[in-house]
Amino acid sequence: MNSEILKKRTKTYAISIGKLIIDLPNNVLNKNYSNQLVRSSSSVGANYRAACRAKSTADFLNKLKIVEEELDETMFFLELLEEFNPEKKSIIQENWKEANELLAIMVASIVTIRKNLENRKS
């Protein structure tokens, strides 16, 4: 999967999260968890784009680690929202699954980069 596909996929993901949030009932829990979710899910795409503009391999790796953390945070807030919005379980789980797939891609990339860095040192 190339960087342009991942840029598009992370943007589409942030949009999907936004649409989910718009559709949630307005209450104090949804509001607070949704605020966090908007930040973390949109940060995934923003930080992935920043990684693509990295000035070095180490910079790229550091930015991908941020993407990894933001995806994990996104998944956490989706789990909380699902707990309090069982009627939205299906759409929340679809978004969680996409976050998990993106997370697997980022983790695999991080592992590959680290192996390549280690091989250069040897």
CA 30 to chain centre: 19
> What's the confidence (pLDDT) of residue 117?
84
| Average pLDDT of every residue of the chain | 96
Domains identified in the chain, total number: 1
Expressed as residue numbers, the domain containing 53 is: 3-121
Q: What is the pLDDT of residue 116?
A: 86
- Spatial distance between the Cα atoms of 84 and 69, rounded to a whole number of angstroms: 23
Three-state DSSP class for 103?
helix
Q: From residue 106, give the alpha-carbon distance in Å to each of 26, 28, 45.
A: 33, 33, 12
Q: Is the pTM of this model over 0.75?
A: yes
What is the pLDDT at residue 97?
A: 98
Q: What percent of the chain has pLDDT over 70?
A: 99
d(CA 18, CA 38): 7
- Residue 31: give its domain's CATH number: 1.20.1440.60
